[in-house]
Structure 1
Amino acid sequence: MTANRTRGQKAGLTREAILEGAVRLVDRDGLAKLSMRRLGAEVDVEAMTLYHYFAGKDALLDGLVEHVFARADFSLAGGRSWQDGLRDYARSLRATLLEHPGLVPLVVSRPAVTEQSLRIMEHGLAELHAAGFGLRAALDLVYSLNEFVLGHLVSASNPAVPDTASVQEGHLTGIDPGEYPLISEAIRADRDREADTRFDVALEAIFRGFGDLRRT
């Protein structure tokens, strides 16, 4: 046993590997089926070994939230504009959750409270502050952007809230163009747009609005 590995830990097993195993479980079986016992089997250890890395299931769930946001890198390195940095961040966060939709309810309902999550937030606020935002405006921008991305994903995953594509596919039948000419015209105008266009349009509107809050 090495000096920096406590009793019960397994050589080669890391916190990140456990989180990746948890993501695989959620992808395959759903969030409701995630347990320490099942996760231990997924990463080939006894469930008790996991408690050397996570105090319990709540800590594991917090770690999964951290894992999602850590994959959505926000950087203004190389003189990038704050819009470019946040645009890539938002698209990366959306792509991660589209790839792992079972994590969406967890990220929506659980605050990011781990040390790593707080370091990510601290870094983002420092970058935006250096780009000319006051700290309150920077925090509002980060929260608004996260809420926009998550709200977009929740809406897209909710079958009770059809998008334009589903309208075009006939999920909302019986719309009379004579009675609802503006809806009908808007659907026709939207027919040839890329699937991500609405997301990008709203994203740019957020940036324009918050751009007015920068220090002059």
Structure 2
Amino acid sequence: MTAKRGRGHRVGLTREDVLHAAVRLADDEGVTAVSMRRVASELGVEAMTLYHHVAGKDALLDGMVEEVLRSARSPQPSDDWQAVLREYARTLREALLTHPALISLVATRPALTTRNQDLVEAVLTALCSHGFEPKAALDVLHSLAGFVVGHVVLDTATPDTDGSDVDASTHPLLHEAMSSGRRTARFDAALDALVTGFQATLARQPGR
């Protein structure tokens, strides 16, 4: 562990350093292990030093959500709004699978930090440029995010299976379906169905 700096000493320490340390700690020991004092210890500083970078534990937890969502790439301009949503969903899934201990934080904290709002604004801009009203676009984004979080919760809570524990003679269809064991393929199939369904939302927009 790094030698402790003096109380209040901030040279070389950034908000990103604090958030990265908190995320690493959660990855290793779970979210319950995260506290201002413990993160400070990981960084080799006094706990009070962290308050120069985050206002308190709530701000620290919000920042950790921000760090996870940072991996969900902001959409690039595209003529295909469905492609924008698919890309966002897939990168969000990847980010959550990389930090499974933080799924509960992402699911329960609004975490309306500036960077998170920037990401939401980018997705809304992409949708509104194709005819969605802002409120409808936000409903679409919330539905998509909820789908991704729920899917990842199931994936991380239950082991994948090759169908070997299902009797093919009595349950042949279930055995065949489970023998694929392809969670990503199942995710993509469900994602396609959801995103395609949003076409109905677009069709209901004023002027359509």
Q: TM-score, normalised by structure 2?
A: 0.85
Question: Are 1:74 and 1:85, in contact at CA under 8 Å, matched by a contact in 2?
Answer: no
Instruction: Report how far residue 193 of structure 1 moved.
Output: 5.8
2 CA distance for matches of 1:94 and 1:80?
23
Q: Hey, which bits of structure 1, 4+ residues long, moved more than 3 A?
A: 175-178
What secondary structure, in the 3-state scheme, does the structure 2 residue paired with 1:168 have?
A: coil
Return closer, same or farther for 1:81/1:168 CA change in 2, 3 Å cut-off. same
* 2:141 is equivalent to residue 168 of structure 1: no
Give deviations 1:140-191, integer Å, cap 9, x for gaps: 11001100011011112224xx6xx437142xx5x5844xx4xx31430452
Instruction: Report how far residue 122 of structure 1 moved.
Output: 2.1
Question: Are 1:74 and 1:86, in contact at CA under 8 Å, matched by a contact in 2?
Answer: no
1:56 matched to which residue of 2? Answer: 56
1:68 matched to which residue of 2? Answer: 68
2:43 matched to which residue of 1? Answer: 43
Return closer, same or farther for 1:208/1:26 CA change in 2, 3 Å cut-off. same
Instruction: Report how far residue 12 of structure 1 moved.
Output: 2.1
1:210 matched to which residue of 2? Answer: 198
1:114 matched to which residue of 2? Answer: 113
- Structure 1 letter corresponding to 2:155: A
Question: Are 1:68 and 1:96, in contact at CA under 8 Å, matched by a contact in 2?
Answer: yes
1:4 matched to which residue of 2? Answer: none
**C-alpha RMSD over aligned residues:** 2.1
- Structure 1 letter corresponding to 2:182: E
2:143 matched to which residue of 1? Answer: 144
1 CA distance for matches of 2:195 and 2:100?
26
Query: 5+ residue gaps in structure 1?
Result: 1-6
2:3 matched to which residue of 1? Answer: none
Q: TM-score, normalised by structure 1?
A: 0.82
Give deviations 1:66-119, integer Å, cap 9, x for gaps: 222222013132x35222222121111111111111101111121122222223
Query: 5+ residue gaps in structure 2?
Result: 1-6
2 CA distance for matches of 1:187 and 1:64?
40
- Structure 2 letter corresponding to 1:63: G
- Between the aligned residues of both structures, percent identity stands at 43
